[in-house]
Structure 1
Amino acid sequence: MSTELHGPILGRRRLSAALRHARDNTGATQEQVAEAMDWSLSKLIRIEKGTVGISTTDLRSLLAHYGVRDPEEINGLIRLAKTSRERPWWAAYRDHLPSLDFEKLLGLEAEASSIETFQSTLIPGLLQTQAYMRYVLGGIVNDVAGPESVNVREEVRLRRQKALFEVEGAPMFRVVLDEATLRRVAASPAVMRQQLLHLADLNTRPNIVIEVIPFTAGPYVDSGTFAVLSFAGSSDPPVVYLENAWYDMLIDKVDQVSKYQLLLANLRQRALNPADSEALVRKIADEFR
């Protein structure tokens, strides 16, 4: 288990995995550990899920109970615990964010080595122009949460874009889009044209690949919007983020993640190559004159 310093979300994820592994090595159940530590069972469960952090004092006591004696390992886990308690940049917007899993997504995006996503209805938020974004958020978020949340979501989305695409070491971003996302009139013709030309220009960047499934590809399995985030370290398995009108959630179970990875591979087989995808995007952009 790597203890190299990272952001609070990945740090907490690594710490939680390390603590679960340490408990498994003892053969103890969560109930047994909670009783021995004089904690509530819910406290231990939340720590192992990464829902809450853990103090240095509690961590030292827990590691001692598990028989962890290596000073280097203990110090590394303490560093992870401290990192996981840091205040992330999105904390100021927390009241307007949709869920805890979305907050985790924000942290994991910044740590990912690659992000692969599928979208069948709208241009992905990370690739939206600000004008297109305002139309979309105004029509979706405003109906549910009000205008203040629209402004906050817009600001958060712009910060996500900057963090992902305007920094050194930005992740590889690979997108599969249904042609419907390009043709759906989500904004004025001028804004749609600007958005599609922006999308085509992004496709020329070395760390962005955009592939379009044309209408001529026929029917396929549409599981809704999802993204697979992968990480450089072997100790950090990939996760899937699901998003729809009713809920959003992160999935980290290996068998479920692998299904979405396979689905992405199948979707790519139906998509045009990046060059032909860019040509189609520019062709449709010209229709919005």
Structure 2
Amino acid sequence: MNIKELNPDSGPQAAFGARLRKEREARGWKQEGLAEHTGYSSTHISAVETGRKTATLRFARQVDNALNFTDSPDSFEREWRELRHGCLLEGFPEYVSYESRAVEIRLYEVGVVPGLLQTPEYASRIEEAGVKRKAITSEQAQERVALIAERQAALTRANSPLVFVVLDESCIRRLVGGPAVMDAQLARLVEFAELPNTMLQVAPFDMGERRPFNLPITVLTMADRSLTSYAESAQQGHFERESACVVPLLTAYHQLQAEAPSQAASVAMINQVRKGTL
């Protein structure tokens, strides 16, 4: 039998396929064996290994189940997300895979409304600006907007997570996309606050030094009560899976919530901004 030589350096898709073959052969499995464990045909396995077919999220998860990589830092799902979302900051694709399964989400944002709360129009204007600056391509902009929609859809699943959001006042003051787009975005925030599984607060500028965070931060609580966090700067993202390292962030987040105005006061502030009375 002629076995096609694989060159993992030829691209991310080839690297995915080469690693799949390596892990399969390390277990002494033929393609038929992996096919039996994943529910895919051996022809499909061969096509992914040789780069003739692109892996899907479902395929990556089935492979993880078969090879015992589920929830591992080396999971094929993580590699798939990095392959698909190559324009995103390091750590973010892995974070998204955890976000979709979290039972509690706590996030703090500065400057812009966070993706989970963005309207499609607001998200599009943000990414279009990146294209104009030549920071990303049009294709990458479309990919980012689509990812936001996917993340938001995951939050409407059965047993929706509790979502706690604290926005720096700059998020509601910064005009994005013009008055109509911004008004719709602020209305979306008010609607979000009315959901039974959410809490929205705005940290006003006059909190000053009492604000414990200077950069955006997200803390996730998983079903087993383990904690993860994600933080990023303009050029780098970091996903932390060690709960012990995340506990201080969770404590600081609770302090932030205690210092910030109530949800009712925060919604009133948002509505005042909408009316242009401030």
Q: Is 2:199 aligned against 1:209?
A: yes
| TM-score, normalization by structure 1 | 0.67
8 Å CA contact 1:97–1:103 kept in 2: the answer is no
Unpaired runs of 5+ residues, structure 1, are 1-51, 61-76
Q: What's the CA shift for 1:215?
A: 2.6
Superposed CA deviations along residues 8-67 of structure 1, whole A, max 9, x for unmatched, are xxxxxxxxxxxxxxxxxxxxxxxxxxxxxxxxxxxxxxxxxxxx889477579xxxxxxx
What RMSD in Å do the two structures reach over aligned CA positions? Answer: 2.9
Q: 1:87 and 1:281, CA in 2 relative to 1: closer, same or farther beyond 3 A? A: same
Partner Cα separation in structure 2 for residue 233 and residue 200 of structure 1 = 31
| TM-score, normalization by structure 2 | 0.69
User: Residue 93 of structure 2 corresponds to which residue in structure 1?
Assistant: 103
Q: 2:224 aligns with which of 226, 233, 242?
A: 233
Higher relative contact order (CA 8 A, sep 6+): 1
Letter in 2 for 1:260: L
8 Å CA contact 1:115–1:173 kept in 2: the answer is yes
User: Residue 170 of structure 1 corresponds to which residue in structure 2?
Assistant: 160
Partner Cα separation in structure 1 for residue 100 and residue 111 of structure 2 = 25
Letter in 2 for 1:212: V
Q: 2:261 aligns with which of 253, 260, 272?
A: 272
Superposed CA deviations along residues 211-243 of structure 1, whole A, max 9, x for unmatched, are 111233333333301100111214xx2111012
Q: What's the CA shift for 1:244?
A: 2.0
Q: What's the CA shift for 1:174?
A: 0.5
8 Å CA contact 1:225–1:242 kept in 2: the answer is yes
Q: What's the CA shift for 1:93?
A: 6.8
User: Residue 70 of structure 1 corresponds to which residue in structure 2?
Assistant: none
3-state SS in 1 of match to 2:254: helix
Letter in 1 for 2:129: G
Q: Is 2:173 aligned against 1:183?
A: yes
Query: Identity of counterpart residues, as a percentage?
Result: 25
User: Residue 34 of structure 2 corresponds to which residue in structure 1?
Assistant: none
Partner Cα separation in structure 1 for residue 27 and residue 83 of structure 2 = 29
Partner Cα separation in structure 1 for residue 153 and residue 147 of structure 2 = 10
Q: What's the CA shift for 1:92?
A: 9.6
Greater helix content: 1
Q: How many residues align?
A: 218
Letter in 1 for 2:68: A
Q: 1:153 aligns with which of 138, 144, 152?
A: 144
Superposed CA deviations along residues 266-288 of structure 1, whole A, max 9, x for unmatched, are 21122111111111111111229
8 Å CA contact 2:105–2:163 kept in 1: the answer is yes
8 Å CA contact 1:96–1:152 kept in 2: the answer is no
8 Å CA contact 1:113–1:172 kept in 2: the answer is yes
Q: 1:247 and 1:86, CA in 2 relative to 1: closer, same or farther beyond 3 A? A: closer
Q: What's the CA shift for 1:82?
A: 6.2
Letter in 2 for 1:271: A
Partner Cα separation in structure 1 for residue 65 and residue 115 of structure 2 = 36
Partner Cα separation in structure 2 for residue 156 and residue 193 of structure 1 = 23
Q: What's the CA shift for 1:79?
A: 5.5
Partner Cα separation in structure 1 for residue 242 and residue 129 of structure 2 = 34
Q: 2:118 aligns with which of 115, 118, 128?
A: 128
Q: 1:192 and 1:258, CA in 2 relative to 1: closer, same or farther beyond 3 A? A: same
Superposed CA deviations along residues 84-123 of structure 1, whole A, max 9, x for unmatched, are 66658x7597154414521111210111001100012111
User: Residue 28 of structure 1 corresponds to which residue in structure 2?
Assistant: none
Letter in 1 for 2:159: G
User: Residue 137 of structure 1 corresponds to which residue in structure 2?
Assistant: 127
Letter in 2 for 1:171: P
Superposed CA deviations along residues 108-146 of structure 1, whole A, max 9, x for unmatched, are 011100110001211111100011111112223653122
Q: Is 2:187 aligned against 1:197?
A: yes
Q: Is 2:68 aligned against 1:81?
A: yes
3-state SS in 1 of match to 2:202: strand
8 Å CA contact 1:121–1:181 kept in 2: the answer is yes
User: Residue 52 of structure 2 corresponds to which residue in structure 1?
Assistant: none
3-state SS in 2 of match to 1:206: coil
Partner Cα separation in structure 1 for residue 265 and residue 27 of structure 2 = 54
Q: Equivalences for 1:13-52 in 2 at 5 Å?
A: none
Q: Is 2:275 aligned against 1:286?
A: yes
8 Å CA contact 2:227–2:242 kept in 1: the answer is no
